[in-house]
């Protein structure tokens, strides 16, 4: 796949993979900012700002933004995480100029006071509703406890109090600081002409400001340790998460970490599947590696009936200890690599998948990785690589968080969660 | 895209579209049977049988089925509807022979009594849990009322009573009758060799029986008419569905029906969006056309606070009446066609999408339609086509079903639902 990249004088990066056989094109602006880049009084501003991008610009009302997406057969799409805020769309090739224009326009929103006040109510309601998703709330609790004083502890949604107190001027200041051109990547994949895209981006984005961007705290983090029990009565299941350190996104160890996580926690045929799911002890079990900027994390989790928590936690601790001591078998490694190859290939079948894939790789490492390179990187993982990863990031050195109706877990009394 | 098709001596149809630039291959067995093909005492057997396919064959235990899918980086996938039961997988090209072997094998399940008894408990639990999904339950109620004595009224899950009473011998008889080779299509899309696939299918499926298959009742159906209110207290929202007749899948009018549905009920920029969502009257609004074998259906639906039901229903009735009288504008038609083009192209980007698309088209019409043909079919829809569709299937001649906490709707008292 041909790949091109360029940087505008103001620092905006444009990257793109073209695929002449594709029938559509996916485009996205990756703003390298998220909850971890917020100060405490700003908590929730990244996500709130993402909403505000759709509330109008000097050139378009909120209604016009929706209408314009609609007219090219697309919809307003965006997401905010701890590290990134992303605005994207996939369209037929003929609408590439139009979608570039709309997306670039909404990245300079008006942030009108009246819209800000109205949207704040929407966000507050979203935070309230979020409490009905115990799985997500459990993860939020877990991250907060694990990361403690590290900025990756920050909540994407923020709290009712922080969002309530947020002012339009704070959002404007955050916007100016974090939505600077040199903190943004425009990524494209599919059927389009890179030079044309570059021309459109130059036209639409050259007026964007440049600022001192980056992140202050990117240290690795091995967690708080210990067992933390948060009791919430109206939840049906107990959610248990065992978090351990992992390689940062820039590390080549990420491939070994990903592979081990799949061998350990895939939804069929994994260690945890045989230990917890096949015998019917737990309702779900999972292991995943999340690459973060500066500090990765390995999360082993399960859900079960509250009464079964202690027994299951004992099993999981035993599994983690065994894996830490003996690693995985050659067969497990082979099976995990087969599964990953299938996922990499299938994940790259659509321009949308590729657009996000190349942007994420570029944002974290400044590298372009095509599907073949990514396949080769996983294929190259050896038993020695997995061993080296475990030695560097012991998976049994966990910070454990239980969230749910259990009043105590393994003798530790719960506090209200 | 090269397309090939062949029929084995026992009647099994093999169809396939090959795409040399694809990096994976999707395969599926489409059994042309579902809830509508069940007798009353058999209610739920199609879906139950789908579960049993994964419980073992003469060559593989249930565990071995899972392990074998796992080893090729795939998972057991299947679904059952009113009209079809489908088993499918997507894998890297090198695993095409293996996945064909596994899928063909599970289509001849052992149906052991002990497995049947165990799985029955799983199904009964699924039926109980299903009651917690009010949106789906509302649709089931609506279909049952609309189709009355037509077999499309049949429930896919069946009832607790029908599944409880079902015997293994009934399932065996249904299997022999409906899983005959001449009622099954093997469909493939992506990167593979059709002759190789045909050889594998011949080897794996030639021993399958042939039977007298087909469907007895395929008459068109215009609905029961009237307003039916089903009151269920523990649901938060009111679900309202207005069902009207539509062209059967074999009709060319399906393109006009699909286009009108999008103009009327797409989630942004549609008639219902402007009438119900933009002013904040309802929480969701939708219009969809479902192609069925012999009798299509158009469903206009919305959800709202129970107190707002009467007002919203009045608005929707007015919208349907106006559309029936004046059809849609040239702008609305153009907008809907743009959106559909984007969906057709993006839906066809993965082998999985193409495999299901060509199988569905073939099962219903015996036609092969590539992406370009399908695009041209939608592009060709004119205002006159939409008018002709409305004249043939008046969209305001609805059977209306309300499901939710409202004690009465538009003066009609609810019965327990």
Q: Give how far the C-alpha of residue B304 lies from the chain's centroid of Cα atoms, to the nearest Å.
A: 25
Taking the C-alpha atoms of residue A400 and residue A403, their distance in angstroms, rounded to an integer, is 10
Q: How far is B400 from chain A (nearest CA, A)?
A: 29
Backbone angles phi, psi at B278, to 5 degrees: -55, -45
Q: How far is CA A73 from the centre of its chain?
A: 27
Complete DSSP assignment for B144-213: HHHHTTSGGG--SS--HHHHHH--HHHHHHHHHHHS-GGGEEEEEEESS-HHHHHHHHHHHHTTS-----
**Interface probe, candidates B27, B129, B349, B378, chain A, greatest A C-beta count within 10 A:** B349
Would you state the pLDDT for residue B1?
73
Q: What is the predicted pLDDT for the residue at B75?
A: 84
pLDDT digits (tens, 9 = 90+) for B26-80: 999 999 999 999 999 999 999 999 999 999 999 999 999 999 999 999 988 999 9
Query: Which residues in chain A are contacts of B61 at CB distance < 8 A?
Result: none
Range A186-211 average pLDDT:
97
Give the lowest-confidence range in A141-150, A217-226, A351-360, B3-12: A217-226
pLDDT for residue A234: 84
Which two three-digit tokens encode residue A23? 């029938």
A72 contacts in B (CB within 8 Å)?
A: 338, 342
Q: Which of A280, A298, A288 is nearest to A244 (CA)?
A: A298
Query: Over 90: is that where the pLDDT of A340 sits?
Result: yes
Among candidate residues B205, B256, B370, B114, the one with its CA nearest the CA of residue A23 = B370
Q: Where are the alpha helices (DSSP H) in A309-394?
A: 309-326, 330-347, 351-365, 371-379, 383-392
B267 interaction partners in chain A (CB closer than 8 Å): 75
Averaged pLDDT for residues A7-33: 96
Q: Per-residue confidence at B16, pLDDT binned at 50, 70, 90?
A: very high
Instruction: Count contacts between A and B (CB, < 8 Å).
Output: 82
Report the distance separating Cα A403 and Cα A416, nearest Å.
10
Give the whole-angstrom CA distance, residue A392 versus residue A295. Answer: 13
Name which residue leads in pLDDT, A84 or B236.
Answer: A84
By DSSP bridging, strand A77-80 and strand A25-31 are unpaired
Does B349 contact A345 at a Cβ distance shorter than 8 Å?
Answer: no
The reported pLDDT for the residue numbered B217 is: 80
Tell whether the model's pLDDT for residue B128 goes beyond 80.
yes
- Candidate from A351-365, B206-220, B261-275 with smallest mean pLDDT: B206-220
The whole-angstrom separation of Cα A175 and Cα A49 is 8
Alpha helices in B107-154 (DSSP H): 113-130, 134-147
Q: Which two tokens stand for residue B265?
A: 């009920």
Locus of tokens 């292991």: A287
Q: CB within 8 A of A365, min separation 6: which ones?
A: A249, A250
By CA distance, what is B270's nearest residue in A? A70
C-alpha B233/C-alpha B223 separation (Å) is: 27
Name the residue facing A71 among B90, B335, B346 (closest C-beta). B335
Whether the pLDDT of residue A1 is over 80: the answer is: no
Give A238 to chain B, closest Cα distance, Å.
19
- Which of A181, A183, A188 minimizes the C-alpha distance to A207? A181
CB hemisphere CA count around B338 (13 angstroms): 22
Judged by CB atoms closer than 8 Å, whether chains meet at A342 and B371 is answered as: no
- In percent, the amount of chain A with pLDDT more than 70 equals 100
Nearest to B345 among A24, A69, A335 (CB): A24
Say what the pLDDT of residue A236 is: 87
Question: B352 to chain A: nearest residue by CA?
Answer: A346
User: Binning pLDDT at 50, 70 and 90, where does residue A180 land?
Assistant: very high
> Cα B369 to the chain's mean position, in Å?
19
Cα A259 to Cα A2, A239, A328, B91, B291: the distances in Å are 28, 24, 10, 18, 43
Does residue A240 carry a pLDDT above 90? yes
Top-confidence range, A70-74, A147-151, A384-388: A384-388
- Alpha helices, DSSP H only, in A206-269? 254-265
In tens, the pLDDT along B328-373 reads: 999 999 999 999 999 999 999 999 999 999 999 999 999 999 999 9
**pLDDT (0 to 100) of residue B214:** 87
Q: What is the CA radius of gyration of chain A?
A: 22
Q: What is residue A90's three-state secondary structure?
A: strand
**Spatial CA neighbour of A13 closest among A128, A163, A185, A189:** A185
Interval A363-397: pLDDT, tens? 999 999 999 999 999 999 999 999 999 999 999 99
Locate all alpha helices (DSSP H) within A33-133, ordered by sequence: 45-52, 62-71, 96-106, 113-130
| pTM across the whole model | 0.91
Cβ-Cβ contacts under 8 Å, B342 against chain A: 24, 72-74, 90-92
Residue B263: per-residue pLDDT: 98
Residues of A in contact with B335 (CB under 8 A): 70-71
Query: Cβ(B304)–Cβ(B237) under 8 Å?
Result: yes
Tell me if residue A221 falls in helix, strand or coil: coil
Interface of B with A (CB under 8 A): 21-24, 66-67, 69-75, 90-92, 267-269, 335, 338-343, 345-346, 348-351, 371
All residues of chain A having their beta carbon less than 8 Å from the beta carbon of residue B351 are 349
Residue B21: which of A21, A66, A90 has the nearest Cβ? A21
Tell which of B22, B23, B121, B355 to mutate to test the A interface (max A CBs under 10 Å): B23
Percent of chain B predicted with pLDDT > 70: 100
Question: What's the average model confidence in pLDDT over A78-105?
Answer: 97
How far CA A192 is from CA of A172, A351, A358, in Å, comes to 34, 11, 16
C-alpha distance from B66 to closest chain A C-alpha (Å): 8
The interface predicted TM-score of the complex, written ipTM, equals 0.86
Q: What is the pLDDT of residues A213-227, one digit of tens each?
A: 888 788 899 899 999
Place of tokens 């051109």: A181
């Amino acid at each position: 796949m041909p790949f091109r990249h360029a940087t505008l004088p103001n620092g905006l990066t444009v990257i793109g993979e073209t695929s002449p056989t594709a029938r559509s094109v996916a485009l996205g602006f990756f703003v390298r900012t998220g909850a971890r880049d917020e100060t405490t009084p700003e908590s929730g501003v990244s996500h709130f700002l993402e909403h505000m991008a759709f509330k109008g610009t000097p050139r378009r009302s909120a209604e016009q933004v929706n209408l314009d997406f609609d007219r090219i057969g697309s919809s307003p799409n965006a997401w905010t995480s701890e590290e990134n805020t992303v605005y994207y769309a996939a369209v037929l090739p003929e609408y590439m100029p139009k979608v570039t224009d709309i997306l670039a326009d909404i990245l300079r929103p008006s942030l009108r006071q009246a819209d800000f006040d109205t949207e704040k109510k929407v966000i507050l309601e979203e935070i309230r509703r979020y409490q009905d998703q115990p799985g997500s709330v459990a993860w939020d609790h877990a991250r907060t406890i694990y990361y403690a004083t590290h900025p990756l502890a920050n909540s994407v949604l923020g709290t009712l109090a922080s969002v309530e107190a947020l002012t339009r001027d704070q959002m404007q200041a955050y916007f100016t600081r974090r939505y600077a051109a040199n903190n943004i990547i425009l990524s494209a994949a599919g059927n389009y002409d890179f030079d044309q895209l570059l021309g459109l981006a130059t036209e639409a984005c050259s007026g964007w400001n440049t600022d001192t961007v980056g992140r202050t705290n990117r240290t690795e983090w091995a967690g708080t340790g210990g067992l933390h029990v948060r009791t919430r009565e109206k939840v049906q299941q107990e959610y248990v998460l065992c978090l351990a350190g992992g390689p940062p996104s820039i590390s080549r160890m990420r491939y070994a970490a990903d592979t081990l996580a799949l061998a350990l926690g895939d939804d069929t045929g994994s260690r945890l599947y045989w230990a917890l799911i096949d015998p019917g002890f737990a309702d779900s079990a999972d292991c995943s590696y999340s690459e973060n900027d500066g500090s990765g994390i390995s999360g082993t989790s399960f859900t079960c009936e509250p009464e079964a928590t202690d027994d299951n936690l004992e099993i999981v601790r035993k599994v983690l200890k065994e894996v830490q001591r003996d690693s995985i078998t050659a067969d497990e490694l082979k099976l995990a690599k087969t599964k990953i190859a299938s996922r990499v290939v299938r994940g790259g079948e659509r321009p949308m998948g590729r657009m996000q894939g190349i942007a994420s790789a570029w944002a974290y490492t400044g590298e372009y990785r095509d599907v073949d390179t990514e396949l080769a990187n996983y294929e190259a993982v050896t038993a020695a690589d997995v061993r080296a990863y475990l030695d560097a990031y012991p998976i049994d050195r966990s910070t454990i968080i239980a969230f749910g109706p259990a009043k105590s877990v393994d003798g530790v009394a719960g506090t209200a969660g």
